[in-house]
């Protein structure tokens, strides 16, 4: 039987026929249950849909994940060359610029101060003077009479030092003058003592005293504080003009002779003159030549602590020694004792014309007592091998200076010393950055623990964009160290910044850009997560590396490093 | 933070709505009273209809891509969101859409040549227009777009509202002409919508990876989001009170007409002509037009670079807030159809639908057939194409009665029900009505 098409069915309004036709369809299509199931067709369709939904969506939802690349600027670091080198130096450097605006490292330290009291002093002096009254009378004396005798004496300070100083003046600020007067004469006598060399600081009057001695009297003692006096050590009993270290003493002895006094030869009056613990606050004279002790100094010079291998040449270093001298003594300085030392390497001594003769530290004249005179001694490449010593990257300078008073190549002048005279010295090592670097290695160790931050990072490219006006290029590598200090990963060595070009004046003449990247793969990052420290090692080269070109690094030169990250992230949220 | 969340939704959300046309449900217009929401010129054959509350609903979700392109099944059966896969199928501009309608009640009385309706619906519509740049950003980050500008011009509209309305349709010219109109009072609950021309440019400089952000006319108008997201900060009954009735009111109308000529019937309707003025719980976020370059931070003087970079981004997205009321228009829908009724059992139809979202004319077309088994039952099939989904879809519909209960269901894409992961969204409309008075004529 032919299967009816839908247009064979009767119109809807023909209800009885329609029902018959419907039955026909049901029979012919074997859909016997359509009549009873038609309300549930929706349920069937919906059920099919839901069932299929379940089949796909019954799996568990995984965490939302992101696998992509994020490019992000992390930040920037601006360095001047001073900051760059300061970063790698632990030295107490003062970084400034000189008159050419060239960056200059200055390292300064004060060295010994010589105290005047230590240079020269007068020890205790003790003198016995026999005063013979020269009584010319018969014995026993037939008459009673009075006889006066004037006598002058010289006493000379001795043992002032082992250098035969010729003192012409001493001003005391301590000690005692002790005069003891005793007599072996059988007569009484008055002794007037005048010390013209010992003048009162207050009145200018010479010291004087009077004593009476008799046969039965004990020793007469006179004590005087010396700090009231200053001594003119040029006076002498003979009025010699060339006297020095001398004390002139004048005595007037008046003897009272009685009838019957028996005066024997050799009987006399004894004057003991004692300078006990004399202290002076000023001495004038000719101090002659003597060595001045300068305490050995070691100037730790750790500016190069972080500099490793490579050739480093400083073209214009200067060691400037400035002395402030308030001694009235020119001092000659022998600089041959300046030695550059470096651990594990042979020391190098300062050489050149500067060590051929004494370098003179000028002194104030006696007309300028109390003042100081400054003297600057510069050690430069024109008078020494100083650029060789600095380029040697020393750890320290040993300063073993030897001084000599009144050197023969110095001025001739009357010397003086005050008890507070000093020679103060400042040593200044000035290193202008007029340099050439050839593969000079610097490094810096910093704490580094990024284990948490790198958890979801699968690859990382660290891009460094540079803008550099410093005529210095830098090749960088990174070394990652674990807790034991062992290097667990070393990055590639890349030129991170290029050297800026240099003009005719040796200074930077422009800005140069650079770009570099450090790529770390998943394995690298896994290793990096174990790191606790990061050592950044840079090889620095000046413009025209290897050709010995010396450049001047200006304080205005700047390096900007823009650090950006390109990270491949596989993160779950 | 709240503001950033909302802007985050704007830029990152992949959920939204771009409604298709209920083209299959439209074919049930002779039997199912709720089709008046599509074509008001509807004259049911029964005298009295009462819908069972909450058992008449429709859900439509439409995407430009099969769900399995976004939610992929791993080898172990697990599911995962895969933006890489989504990117491979994305166009320059893409759409997502969802339309949820729940019929709270529907009462219809038909007498003589007129039919009167009272109804209430809970409506939720959402639409998202997103660019492939956004998907690319989500899938790959900005690392593969260095030197290019990622231009995000995403648009989103999320609206929920109640509509309460009355409708009247009447036949003229010996039942050849039917004209229907529905008037609706609207009560808005939640809204979030972007401006018309907002864009965010993200440019990654290849020379240093500096990121330049350029905002242009970015704004989001919202209503009800605060009480939705921060309900714990309100009194316990506040949320319920708010969703029950708000000061966000509006009016809308649906109009339609049908004309029969011999065996042909021509119909046209325009629905959801109206607007809502949002007054309650309004917060408008405006991002000033500006350009900011994120260049990282001064590493030498920064204790926490990550936080500082985050602060820079936060500063850029710092919005200005206003609280002025605003008015949004509904997405107006248009149906135009022509059908040929061969006899009481067979009807062929051609239907065009446009939803006018963002003012676009992007119509869908359907060719349909319905088989009528009596005046209470029909089974139909259709194929549609156009609109947001260019590839052909095959839908089905059914309506039938069991006693005084009418059951109906319709879908524009039947295959979605069997293999939804392969479909571009989901679409189903179903309901149960109490239908009386079939013998009135």
pLDDT band at A85 (very low <50, low <70, confident <90, very high): low
Alpha-carbon distance values, B404 to A556, B33, B376 (Å) = 94, 14, 10
CB nearest B299 (choices: A18, A53, A76): A76
Nearest Cα of chain A lies from the Cα of B389 at a distance, in angstroms, of 20
Give the mean pLDDT of A240-255.
Answer: 87
Q: What gap in Å lies between CA A273 and CA A277, rounded to an integer?
A: 13
Give the mean pLDDT of A433-454.
Answer: 83
pLDDT band at B62 (very low <50, low <70, confident <90, very high): low
Provide the pLDDT for residue A204. Answer: 93
Q: pLDDT digits over B180-213, tens only?
A: 999 999 999 999 998 778 899 999 998 888 999 9
pLDDT band at A277 (very low <50, low <70, confident <90, very high): very high
Q: Which residues in chain A have their CB less than 8 angstroms from residue B377's CB?
A: 38
Q: How far is CA A267 from the centre of its chain?
A: 71
Q: Are B216 and B287 in contact (CB under 8 A)?
A: no
Provide the pLDDT for residue A90. Answer: 54
Q: Output the CA torsion sign for A103, A109, A111, A116.
A: positive
Phi-psi region of B69 (alpha: psi -120 to 50; beta: other; left: phi over 0): alpha
Residue A6 has pLDDT above 50, yes or no: no
Q: Which is nearest to B52 in space by CA: B407, B387, B361, B362? A: B407
> How many residues appear in chain A?
573
Most confident stretch, A78-92, A112-126, A526-540, B386-400: A526-540
Nearest Cα of chain A lies from the Cα of B297 at a distance, in angstroms, of 4
Q: Is A69 near chain B, with CB under 8 Å? A: yes
Residue B350 has pLDDT above 90, yes or no: yes
Q: Is A162 near chain B, with CB under 8 Å? A: no
Residue B377 has pLDDT above 80, yes or no: yes
Residue A139: CA atoms inside 13 Å, Cβ hemisphere, count? 8
Angle between helices B132-140 and B2-12 (to 10 degrees): 110
Q: Which residues, at least 6 apart from B21, have a Cβ–Cβ distance to it below 8 Å?
A: B333, B335, B351, B353, B355, B364, B366, B384, B387, B412
Provide the pLDDT for residue A52. Answer: 46
Q: Are B164 and B199 in contact (CB under 8 A)?
A: no
Provide the pLDDT for residue A384. Answer: 95
Share of chain A above pLDDT 70, in %: 85
Cβ contact, residue pair A75, B401, below 8 Å? no
pLDDT band at A452 (very low <50, low <70, confident <90, very high): confident
- Quick check: bond before B392 cis, omega within 30? no
Nearest Cα of chain A lies from the Cα of B145 at a distance, in angstroms, of 9
> How many residues appear in chain B?
441
Q: Which residues in chain B have their CB less than 8 angstroms from residue A569's CB?
A: 141
Give the mean pLDDT of A437-461.
Answer: 83
Residue B291 has pLDDT above 50, yes or no: yes
Q: What gap in Å lies between CA B11 and CA B317, rounded to an integer?
A: 12
Q: Is B81 near chain A, with CB under 8 Å? A: yes
Q: What gap in Å lies between CA B103 and CA A95, rounded to an integer?
A: 82
Give the mean pLDDT of A238-245.
Answer: 79
Alpha-carbon distance values, B365 to A237, A459, B350 (Å) = 145, 50, 7
Residue A30 has pLDDT above 60, yes or no: no
Q: Which residues in chain B have their CB less than 8 angstroms from residue A12's CB?
A: 343-345, 372, 374-375
B-contacting residues of A 500-539, CB under 8 Å?
A: 515
Q: Is A62 near chain B, with CB under 8 Å? A: yes
Q: Output the CA torsion sign for A161, A167, A172, A178.
A: positive
Which stretches within A430-509 are classed as H helix? Answer: none
| Of residues B228 and B424, more confidently modeled | B228
Residue A14 has pLDDT above 60, yes or no: no
Provide the pLDDT for residue A322. Answer: 92
A332-346, A517-531, B47-61: the lowest-pLDDT one: B47-61
A-contacting residues of B 138-157, CB under 8 Å?
A: 138-144, 146
pLDDT band at A13 (very low <50, low <70, confident <90, very high): very low
Provide the pLDDT for residue A306. Answer: 64
Q: pLDDT digits over B121-130, tens only?
A: 889 888 888 8
Share of chain A above pLDDT 90, in %: 35
For chain A, the maximum distance between any two Cα atoms, rounded to a whole number of angstroms, is 205
Q: Is B371 near chain A, with CB under 8 Å? A: yes
Q: Which residues, at least 6 apart from A424, have a Cβ–Cβ distance to it below 8 Å?
A: A110, A113, A323, A324
Q: Which of B76, B84, B373, B431 to mutate to test the interface with A (most CBs of A within 10 A)?
A: B373
Q: Which is nearest to A465 in space by CA: A391, A559, A392, A398? A: A559
Q: What gap in Å lies between CA B18 and CA B388, rounded to an integer?
A: 8
Q: Are strands A65-80 and B297-298 parallel, antiparallel or unpaired?
A: parallel
Q: Is B268 near chain A, with CB under 8 Å? A: no
Alpha-carbon distance values, B398 to B264, B370, B373 (Å) = 22, 9, 11
Q: What gap in Å lies between CA A520 and CA B263, rounded to an integer?
A: 76
Q: Is B85 near chain A, with CB under 8 Å? A: no
Q: Which of B299, B348, B408, B423 to mutate to test the interface with A (most CBs of A within 10 A)?
A: B299
Most confident stretch, A41-55, A111-125, A355-369, A434-448: A355-369
CB nearest B430 (choices: A42, A78, A566): A42
Give the mean pLDDT of B60-78.
Answer: 75
Question: What kind and span of H or E run contains A158?
Answer: none
Q: Which residues in chain A have their CB less than 8 angstroms from residue B211's CB?
A: 71-73
Cβ contact, residue pair A62, B421, below 8 Å? no
Q: Which residues in chain A have their CB less than 8 angstroms from residue B207's CB?
A: 465, 515
Average pLDDT, chain A: 82
Q: pLDDT digits over A166-189, tens only?
A: 899 999 999 999 999 998 888 889
Residue B210: CA atoms inside 13 Å, Cβ hemisphere, count? 16
Q: Which is nearest to A96 in space by CA: A87, A88, A106? A: A106
Residue A19 has pLDDT above 50, yes or no: no
Average pLDDT, chain B: 84
Provide the pLDDT for residue A113. Answer: 59
pLDDT band at A29 (very low <50, low <70, confident <90, very high): very low
Residue B142 has pLDDT above 80, yes or no: yes
Provide the pLDDT for residue B147. Answer: 92
Alpha-carbon distance values, A489 to A442, A461, A567, A568 (Å) = 19, 15, 19, 20
| Of residues A238 and B2, more confidently modeled | A238
Stated pTM of the model: 0.63
> How many Å from the N-terminal Cα to the C-terminal Cα in chain A?
66
Instruction: Identify the burial level of B75 via C-beta atoms within 10 angstroms of its C-beta, where 0-12 means exposed, 13-18 middle and 19 or more buried.
Output: exposed
Provide the pLDDT for residue A259. Answer: 87
Nearest Cα of chain B lies from the Cα of A335 at a distance, in angstroms, of 43
* Per-position DSSP letters for A371-439, written without gaps between them: --EEEEEEE-TTTSSHHHHHHT--SEEEE--EEEES-TTS----EEEETT-EEEEEEEEEEESEEEEES
Q: Are A290 and A346 in contact (CB under 8 A)?
A: no
Cβ contact, residue pair B297, A75, below 8 Å? yes
Q: pLDDT digits over A220-234, tens only?
A: 999 999 999 999 999
């Amino acid at each position: 039987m032919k299967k009816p098409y839908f247009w064979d069915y009767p119109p809807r309004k023909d209800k009885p026929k329609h029902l018959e036709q419907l039955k026909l369809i049901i029979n012919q299509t074997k859909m016997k249950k359509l009549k009873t199931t038609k309300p549930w067709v929706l349920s069937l369709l919906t059920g099919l849909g839901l069932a299929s939904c379940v089949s796909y969506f019954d799996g568990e939802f995984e965490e939302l994940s992101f696998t992509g690349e994020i490019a992000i600027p992390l930040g920037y670091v601006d360095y001047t060359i001073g900051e760059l080198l300061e970063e790698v130096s632990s030295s107490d450097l003062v970084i400034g610029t000189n008159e050419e605006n060239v960056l200059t490292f200055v390292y300064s330290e004060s060295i010994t101060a010589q105290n005047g009291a230590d240079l020269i002093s007068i020890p205790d002096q003790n003198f016995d003077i026999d005063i013979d009254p020269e009584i010319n009378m018969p014995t026993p004396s037939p008459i009673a009479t009075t006889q006066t005798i004037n006598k002058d004496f010289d006493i000379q300070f001795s043992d002032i030092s082992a250098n035969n100083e010729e003192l012409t003046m001493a001003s005391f600020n301590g000690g005692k003058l002790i005069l003891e007067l005793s007599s072996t004469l059988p007569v009484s006598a008055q002794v007037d003592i005048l010390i013209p060399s010992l003048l009162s600081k207050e009145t200018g009057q010479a010291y004087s005293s009077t004593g009476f001695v008799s046969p039965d009297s004990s020793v007469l003692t006179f004590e005087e504080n010396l700090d009231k006096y200053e001594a003119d050590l040029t006076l002498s009993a003979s009025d010699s003009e060339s006297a020095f270290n001398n004390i002139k003493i004048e005595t007037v002895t008046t003897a009272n002779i009685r009838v019957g006094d028996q005066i024997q030869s050799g009987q006399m009056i004894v004057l003991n003159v004692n300078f006990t613990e004399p202290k002076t606050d000023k001495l004038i004279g000719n101090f002659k030549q003597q060595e001045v002790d300068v305490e050995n100094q070691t100037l730790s010079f750790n500016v190069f602590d972080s500099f490793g291998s490579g050739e480093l040449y400083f073209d214009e270093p200067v060691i400037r020694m400035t002395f402030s001298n308030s001694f009235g003594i020119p001092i000659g300085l022998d600089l041959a004792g300046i030695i550059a030392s470096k651990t594990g390497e042979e020391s190098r001594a300062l050489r050149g014309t500067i060590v051929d003769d004494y370098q003179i530290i000028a002194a104030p004249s006696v007309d300028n007592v109390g003042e100081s005179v400054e003297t600057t001694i510069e050690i430069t490449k024109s008078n020494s091998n100083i650029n060789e010593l600095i380029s040697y990257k020393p750890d320290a300078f040993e300063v073993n200076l030897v001084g000599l008073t009144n050197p023969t190549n110095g001025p001739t002048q009357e010397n003086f010393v005050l008890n507070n005279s000093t020679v103060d010295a400042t040593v200044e090592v000035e290193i202008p950055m007029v340099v050439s670097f050839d593969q000079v290695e610097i490094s810096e160790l910093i704490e580094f623990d990024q284990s948490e931050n790198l958890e979801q990072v699968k690859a990382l490219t660290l891009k460094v964009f540079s803008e550099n006006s410093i005529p210095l290029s830098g090749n960088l590598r990174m070394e990652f160290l674990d807790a034991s200090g062992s290097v667990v990963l070393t990055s590639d060595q890349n030129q991170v910044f290029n050297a800026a070009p240099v003009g005719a004046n040796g200074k930077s003449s422009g800005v140069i850009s650079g770009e570099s990247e450090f790529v770390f793969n998943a394995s690298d990052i896994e290793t990096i997560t174990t790191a606790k420290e990061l050592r950044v090692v840079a090889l620095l080269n000046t413009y025209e590396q290897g050709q010995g070109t010396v450049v001047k690094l200006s304080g205005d030169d700047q390096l900007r490093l823009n650090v950006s990250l390109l990270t491949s992230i596989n993160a779950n949220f | 933070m709240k503001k950033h969340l909302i802007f985050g939704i704007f830029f990152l959300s992949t959920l939204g709505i771009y409604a298709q046309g209920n083209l299959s449900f439209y074919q049930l217009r002779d039997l199912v009273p709720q089709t008046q929401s599509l074509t008001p010129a509807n004259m049911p054959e029964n005298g009295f209809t009462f819908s069972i509350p909450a058992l008449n609903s429709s859900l439509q979700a439409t995407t430009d891509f099969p769900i399995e392109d976004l939610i992929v099944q791993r080898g172990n059966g697990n599911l995962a969101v895969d933006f890489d896969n989504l990117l491979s199928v994305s166009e320059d501009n893409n759409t997502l859409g969802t339309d949820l309608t729940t019929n709270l009640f529907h009462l219809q009385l038909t007498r003589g040549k007129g039919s009167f309706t009272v109804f209430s619906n809970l409506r939720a519509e959402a639409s998202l227009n997103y660019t492939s740049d956004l998907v690319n950003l989500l899938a790959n980050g900005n690392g593969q777009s260095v030197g290019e500008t990622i231009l995000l011009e995403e648009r989103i509209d999320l609206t929920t509202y109640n509509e309460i309305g009355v409708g009247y349709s009447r036949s003229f010219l010996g039942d050849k002409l039917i004209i229907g109109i529905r008037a609706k009072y609207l009560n808005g609950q939640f809204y979030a919508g972007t401006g018309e021309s907002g864009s965010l440019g993200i440019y990654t400089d290849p020379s240093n990876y500096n990121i330049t952000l350029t905002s242009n006319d970015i704004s989001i108008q919202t209503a009800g989001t605060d009480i939705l997201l921060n309900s714990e900060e309100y009194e316990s009954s506040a949320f319920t009170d708010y969703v029950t009735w708000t000061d966000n009111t509006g009016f809308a109308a649906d109009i339609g007409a049908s004309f029969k000529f011999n065996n042909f019937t021509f119909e046209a309707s325009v629905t959801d002509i109206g607007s809502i003025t949002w007054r309650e719980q309004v917060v408008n976020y405006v991002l000033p037009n500006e350009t900011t370059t994120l260049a990282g931070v001064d590493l030498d003087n920064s204790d926490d670079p990550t936080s500082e970079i985050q602060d820079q981004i936060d500063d850029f997205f710092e919005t200005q807030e206003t609280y002025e009321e605003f008015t949004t228009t509904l997405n107006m829908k248009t149906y135009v159809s022509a059908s040929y009724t061969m006899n009481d059992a067979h009807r062929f139809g051609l239907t065009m639908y446009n939803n006018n979202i963002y003012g676009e004319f992007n119509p869908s077309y359907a060719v349909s057939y319905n088989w009528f088994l009596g005046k209470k039952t029909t089974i139909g099939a259709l194929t549609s194409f156009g609109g947001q989904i260019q590839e052909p879809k095959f839908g089905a519909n059914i309506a039938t009665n069991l006693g005084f209960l009418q059951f109906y269901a319709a879908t524009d894409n039947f295959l979605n029900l069997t293999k939804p992961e392969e479909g571009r969204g989901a679409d189903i409309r179903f309901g149960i009505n109490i239908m009386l008075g079939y013998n009135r004529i």
